[in-house]
Amino acid sequence: MNILSEISKELDLRIEQVKSVISLFDDDATIPFIARYRKEHTGGLDEDQLRAIDERYQYLTLLEDRKKTVLKSIEEQGKLTNELKVKIEAAAKLQEVEDLYLPYKPKRKTRGTVAKAKGLEPLALFIIENPNTTKDLNTIAEQYVSPEKEVNSVEEAIQGAKDIIAEMISESAEVRELVREFLLSNSVMKSTKVENPDKELTKNKKDVYEIYHDFTVDINHVKEYQILAMNRGEREGFLRIHLAIEKEVILEKIYKEYFNFDKSVFEDLLKETTEDSYNRLISPSLEREVRKILSEKSDLHAVEIFASNLKQLLLQPPISNKIIMGIDPGFVSGSKVAVIDSTGKYLEGNTIYPHPPQNKVKDAQKIILDFVKKYNVDLIAIGNGTASRETEFLVAELIKDNSLKCSYIIVNEAGASVYSASTVAKSEFPDLEASQRGNISIARRVLDPLAELVKIEPKSIGVGLYQHDINQKLLTKKLADVVESCVNYVGVDINTASASLLTYVSGLNSRIAKNIVKFREEKGRFQNRNQLLTISGVGEKLFEQAAGFLKIPGSDNPFDNTFIHPESYDATFKLLKECNISDTAINEKGNLVKMITKQKGLQSISSTIGVGIPTLEDILENLARPGRDPREDMPKPILRSDILKLEDLTIGMKLKGTVRNVVDFGAFVDIGLKQDALLHISQIANKFVKHPIEVLNVGDIIDVTIFKVDVEKGRVSLSRKENLA
């Protein structure tokens, strides 16, 4: 297999693009760097396309290595035929290679291997190869009776031959592929309740799987979230799952696939053996395999949804230049309050006890009010966990009664407790207790969501579904890719970024990130990008990968506060000279450069300054909006000053809400209640929506209509349809 050609064909790319990308990977270039700064080399491939190339290259390389290992093993056994070699070399999947290798794979002791050791393989081959024989099977089998070999009767000899044939059928690559495809397209997934579950397995767990106690679904229609739910129920000991098929149909198909004759005098024996092979050897292993395929597909789907939600959450626009109070609500242990300044610096904090059992409402109001007045608090960020609703009432009442100019916002606090106990939090606030750190995190999530959320393990940020049940290695890799992509998309202020944030910058690692922070602490602010080269561990290659993503507002070089790479500085100076504009005037005249360049022609200017058109276009974009934060263009979060009560809601009422989470069956939307309301997939639009992720993202501000209200259960359903009738 020519790996590069195969990738080119699969991904519909020119082979030169694939070669260039692989070459850049081999040179340790990162995906964000290639996507932004090597467009001429790749033909403008984006990060998703680059990751697809990387994944396929790794898989196909592994496939070719496995083929070599398998071919060598079979050849050493003296069993490699030209036909088998061609099949293995032509295999496009690892599973195909493993199927072809199965008959030659070293085995543990089985009924078939035991029968072979007793010398019964020739008898098995006779039965297969002589469908029209007139010889009597019992007479032939008598020749293999041998007490010395523990074959004591004709019946034992024939049974041994059947065991060998059953194993041969089960090891046929063609049969396995046939059964695999049949199960994947014609089976029914059944889930039933375990009547007497293992007490040890179900200890401290609740059976929440009533819907799956007697559940049947065609394998072609089963939803990914249903597979994840059933898998969890089975793992916890409450459910039993199996695949049901029309057994007679599959047995007939196996028989016809394996035996290349229309009729045989041994037909009854062979059909009986085929059924034994299916029941004992094929079905158990292939049902496990098919369920693994379904689980992997569901895992991948869940990971993609989680990744999409995480990306949108990380790219929420910051609410800059505000004094923010963060409140981490609680009952018995109180609500933790912290105030941060417009740079995220912790100013002061306290604990209030306005809720049961203490009910110190007036004391709590006084503490909050004193903080608001002392620090001119602009915004109060309230965590959405326990006691959130009660705290929201308290804050809304306080704002109204005292005519305060500040607003409040409900913040997703998922992962705040993880951050509180982390090494990062301890190093940031060594003098504070863990319980007093979560409220600071809540406040900072409003000030700059990306900078704060990168301090938390991505899967602890609550925007997924079944994230603790899916493949953790796959999830961790995907979410790390998302965080890396977001950080480099936004860029990082090298003089204010934490080590946690710097770690995700292209080319950097935790050690280099800490060295950068140490440099700031010892020598003060970075004045220009070139100072990076003085950091321990930063060489020319690492500088190349990282420099363009590290911004320096106020640098002695204005390009240092843009995504223009230092390697393009000379070209940028030439460009400004062509336009007769000083580099110190780009803040005022960046758009003029763009206009003049287009008048003169991109091709002409790119040739003059010595860069390709894609790089020129990027330079122009950065000159037009130097220092731009791409998150600025996104809708701002909804700020509130009054409270919305469940009792206030009426069917048909129109509201604005913030999408908090997108899942397979819809989206959860914050409309100002304690609990997010459900926008079911059937109510997202007038037209059919295959998946909510097609039209909704975490953080979207949307118009919704109250569809249903269940006061008793505290549930609200929403709709975006124009006509609810």
Residues 583 and 657 grouped into a single domain: no
Q: Which pLDDT does position 237 carry in this prediction? A: 95
Q: What is the DSSP letter of 196?
A: S
Residue 168 lies in a domain: no
> What tokens does 26 get?
């081999």
Residues 666 and 614 grouped into a single domain: no
The low-confidence residues of the chain, meaning pLDDT below 70, are 464-465, 724-725
- Determine the length of the chain: 725
* CATH at residue 573: 1.10.150.310
Residue 403 lies in a domain: yes
Picking from 447, 464, 481, the residue at the C-terminal end of a domain is 447
Residues 590 and 665 grouped into a single domain: no
* Burial of 159 from C-beta contacts in 10 A (0-12 / 13-18 / 19+): middle
Residues 603 and 696 grouped into a single domain: no
- Condensed to tens digits (0 to 9), the pLDDT of residues 264-296 reads 999 999 999 999 999 999 999 999 999 999 999
- Condensed to tens digits (0 to 9), the pLDDT of residues 631-655 reads 988 888 888 888 778 888 999 999 9
Residues 463, 310: Cα–Cα separation, whole Å:
6
Residue 421 lies in a domain: yes
Residues 695 and 626 grouped into a single domain: no
* CATH at residue 372: 3.30.420.140
Q: Which pLDDT does position 724 carry in this prediction? A: 67
Residue 493 lies in a domain: no
* CATH at residue 11: 1.10.10.650
Residue 181 lies in a domain: no
* pTM exceeds cut of 0.95: no
Residue 209 lies in a domain: no
Picking from 447, 476, 494, the residue at the C-terminal end of a domain is 447
Q: Which pLDDT does position 377 carry in this prediction? A: 98
Residues 669 and 624 grouped into a single domain: no
* CATH at residue 711: 2.40.50.140
- Condensed to tens digits (0 to 9), the pLDDT of residues 319-329 reads 999 999 999 99
* Contact present, 7 and 25 (Cβ < 8 Å): no
Residues 488, 548: Cα–Cα separation, whole Å:
9
Angle at CA 378, nearest 5°, toward 372 and 381? 85
Residues 97 and 42 grouped into a single domain: yes
Q: Which pLDDT does position 725 carry in this prediction? A: 54
Residue 337 has phi, psi (to 5 degrees) of -120, 135
* Burial of 602 from C-beta contacts in 10 A (0-12 / 13-18 / 19+): middle
Q: What is the DSSP letter of 338?
A: E
Q: Cα 63 to the chain's mean position, in Å?
A: 24
Q: Which pLDDT does position 449 carry in this prediction? A: 94
Omega into 284 within 30° of 0, i.e. cis? Answer: no
Residue 667 has phi, psi (to 5 degrees) of -145, 150
Residues 529 and 626 grouped into a single domain: yes
Range of the domain at 79: 3-104
Query: Which of these, 189, 248, 231, lies nearest to 214 by C-alpha position?
Result: 189
Picking from 447, 480, 505, the residue at the C-terminal end of a domain is 447
Q: Which pLDDT does position 380 carry in this prediction? A: 97
Residues 585 and 686 grouped into a single domain: no
Residues 330 and 443 grouped into a single domain: yes
In the chain, the number of structural domains is 4
Q: 472-502 in b/e burial notation, b at 16+ Cβ within 10 A?
A: eeebeebbebbbbbbbbbbbbbbbebbbbbb
